[in-house]
Amino acid sequence: MIALMITFVIFSIFILFHINRMTNLLCIQKEIPEERHKKIFRTVNILIVILLSTSYIEILYV
């Protein structure tokens, strides 16, 4: 159980890092103003955390 949690946390950090990197590249490519970057990153991060949390719960209780 603990091994699953540790593995999932490492996986989650890896996913969040790469999603943030891709979001940054998107902002640069589409030339989105700097003022909107913070809002975009916050939205993307919240949605990814919700996705990862529900994935963990699904794995835990299935």
Supply the pTM of this predicted model: 0.87
Q: In the predicted model, what is the mean pLDDT of the chain?
A: 95
- Closest CA relative to residue 16, chosen from 54, 49, 38, 40: 49
pLDDT band per the 50, 70, 90 thresholds, residue 55: very high
What's the pLDDT score for residue 62?
82
Based on the structure, what is the number of domains in the chain?
A: 1
Distances 56 to 15, 17, 20, 42, 53 between C-alpha atoms, Å: 13, 18, 20, 21, 5
Domain span at residue 9 reads 1-61
User: According to the model, what pLDDT value does residue 39 have?
Assistant: 97
Predicted confidence at residue 23, as pLDDT, reads: 97
Q: Hey, is 1 helix, strand or coil?
A: coil
CA distance 27 to 2: 37
Average confidence (pLDDT) over 29-52: 97
